[in-house]
Amino acid sequence: MAGAGVREFKRRIRSVKNTQQITKAMKMVAAAKLRRAQESAEASRPYTETLQGTLARLTAVAYDVTHPLLEKREDILKVGYIVVTADRGLCGAFNSNIIRLTVQTITEDTRDVDHGIIAVGRKGRDFFRKRGEVDAEFVNLGDNVSYADAREIGQYIVNAYENEELDEVYIVYGKFINALRQVPTVVKVLPIDPPTKDEEVEERYVEYIYEPSAEEILLTLLPRYIGSQIYNAMLESKASEFGARMTAMGNATENAGEIIDSLTLKMNNVRQAAITDEILDIVGGAEALKKGGK
């Protein structure tokens, strides 16, 4: 019986060690991908900030311009949410936190409106598909975020907004802080909110000379601004995914080590008990033989 118990412990330890090797390898892969994703996310931030500043500057001097993407509608009938999640799991609470924030945001919207989901990533798609809320899906985009994919998503929501299929659009993604911290974030995408015109803003931007006119540049820039927002969110979310996966796999590797230590201790106790029983049997047999010889 004891031998069978030891063999069972050995089998379980071997199984946990195999799992530990997998989680350790996944942690190393995620760490390597995280470095590249983090560099891409950090490199995109200055461009996005500059684009925002340019947009603010243009709207300050071209405040009379009209464009469908700047139009705020009084009757809001449907709100769209671009939900950026991962295609795979094993990244801790990363996906569930983004999905939870989306559901919370929808629940807290007290207006009598419909809600639609533009799912970027399989995990978000699978969750909201069960609720029947997915209007469009963009899945299996790979680990390398492409601006072409972001532009396609941007074009979809721009068309939906201009055709009055959506009246407001938000994007929900994981903002990358560091490998241990990713913050689920909601950002309004449409309609674009230009800064209000005041004397201070006008005075700050009036020295620029635009060729062609500020109005023409603004009209060209607005769709690109949408694509840039989505692209930046996808980069941030991808870096957050790898950071969360690296942390989760690191914790799993450590937990596997603790399980192995615990099983090894229990196996040694069983083995020691078996040896003690055998010694007692031998001593008992020797005593019996000694008494029989007398």
Per residue in 46-99, pLDDT tens? 888 787 777 777 766 666 667 777 778 788 889 999 999 998 888 888 999 999
**How confident is residue 1, by pLDDT bands cut at 50, 70 and 90?**
very low
| Set 83, 91, 234, 249: catalytic member | 91
CA dist 47 and 33 (Å) reads: 22
Question: What CATH topology corresponds to 37-245?
Answer: Pyruvate Kinase; Chain: A, domain 1 (3.40.1380)
Q: What global pTM score does this model have?
A: 0.80
Per residue in 236-291, pLDDT tens? 999 999 999 999 999 999 898 888 888 888 888 877 777 776 676 676 666 666 66
Question: What CATH topology corresponds to 2-25+249-293?
Answer: Helix Hairpins (1.10.287)
- Residue ranges, comma separated, of all CATH 1.10.287.80 domains in the chain are 2-25+249-293
Per residue in 180-227, pLDDT tens? 888 999 998 888 776 454 444 444 545 566 566 666 777 777 778 888
For residue 253, is it left (φ>0), alpha (ψ between -120 and 50) or beta? Answer: alpha
73 is catalytic: no
- Residue ranges, comma separated, of all CATH 3.40.1380.10 domains in the chain are 37-245
DSSP 25-43: HHHHHHHHHHHHHHHHHHH
Angle at 145 between CA 36 and CA 97, to 5 degrees: 90
